[in-house]
Amino acid sequence: MLIAPAAAASLGSVDLQQPLTTRLLPSKIPFLGFGTWNIDTFNASEAVSAALQAGYRHLDCATIYGNQKEVGRGIADGLQKAEVKRSDVWITSKLWNDHHDPSLVEEALDQTLLDLGLDYLDLWLMHWPVGNSLATGESELSYIHAWHAMEKLHKTDKIRNIGVSNFSPAQLKDLIEKSDTKPAVHQMEIHPYLPQSKWIKYHHELGIAVTAYSPFANTNPTYTPSKGDPPLLLKNTDLLAIAADRRCTAAQVALVWGWSHGDSVIPKSSHVSHIKENFGALNCHLEKEDLERIDGISKQYLKRFNNPSKEYGVRLFDGLEDA
């Protein structure tokens, strides 16, 4: 049985802009997005424009990435050259930790919209369940009051959906119990070395969609290698063998595996050739046994690469794989 981008909802051929099933989202969000983390300001505009021209209709941004002005210029250029409307593209950004105080939340949103040159966001995420104390400047677990401020803004025309990123099970439960609005999306690290299958299934049962960041795992240069790390994901022998069998690249195989769980995935690249290669995953078809083989990789290698618990001085990801 062939697995195409619509695998989580139905089998068969799929439009290049196929959205996730609306069972999981209040609005349409394409399976395949373009991430902007670690894209330098000197070529962020070119990369984003190239992504839109290649066919991407889902962009992921964040204040802390430090490139939103350049990304905004790329959006404007790409929309014009691709001849698509703003309403045809799903755009996500994120609230950073230094603006969790409720009095600062709207200011953060307005700055993001200004930098990106947009009137609204399709999705605004709380980047971490961590805020910086106004009194001490130190990091602390802080998300309820900031979320309530986001809820108020959700009622305006500035945001279509709100969500979270990097929350633990206890934090997500706490947030839902103390709020009127359930997160529409939870963005988290997911790849064959950190599949988080049970955690994903729990979100689907709650009606919360999932977006996978770092779909290429330790291929991301941000992650400093350490002793005992698994091989680079795109050099993993299982992925390479499947890629050869299916006439795809290892990157494309990783992306198809990612959205086969019903998640959206947001690979990033500053190279036009890789941007196009990743988008070509929409034409990569895997067999059920391929997906099962990839599922088994984490039995040998289980690794979370993005865990700033020590940096923030708080414990993150309690109750999750490789916390």
Write the DSSP string, 105-152.
HHHHHHHHHHHHT-S-BSEEEES-SEEE-TTT--EEE--HHHHHHHHH
- For position 31, what pLDDT does the model report? 92
d(CA 289, CA 2): 10
pLDDT at 227: 84
Residue with tokens 């902007």: 36
Q: Please name the helix (run of DSSP H) or strand (run of DSSP E) that holds residue 3, with its range, or none.
A: strand 2-3
Residue labelled with tokens 């947001």? 266
DSSP string, 235-294: G-HHHHHHHHHHT--HHHHHHHHHHTTT-EE----SSHHHHHHHHGGGG--EEHHHHHHH
pLDDT tens digits, residue range 177-232?
999 999 999 999 999 999 999 999 999 999 999 999 999 999 988 888 888 899 99
Please list the helix, strand and coil fractions of the chain in percent, rounded to the nearest 5, in that order: 40, 15, 45
| DSSP tag of 191 | B
Please tell me what DSSP assigns to residue 159: B
Is 65 one of the catalytic residues?
yes
Q: Which residues of the chain are under the pLDDT cut of 50? A: 1-26
Q: What is the pTM of this model?
A: 0.92
pLDDT at 21: 38
**What tokens does 316 get?**
């993150």
CA angle 125, 192, 236 (to 5 degrees): 135
Task: Look over the chain and give the mean of its residue pLDDT values, rounded to a whole number.
Answer: 91
CA atoms within 13 A on the CB side of 319: 10
- In one-letter notation, the amino acid at residue 160 is R
Q: Which of 56, 65, 193, 312 is catalytic?
A: 65
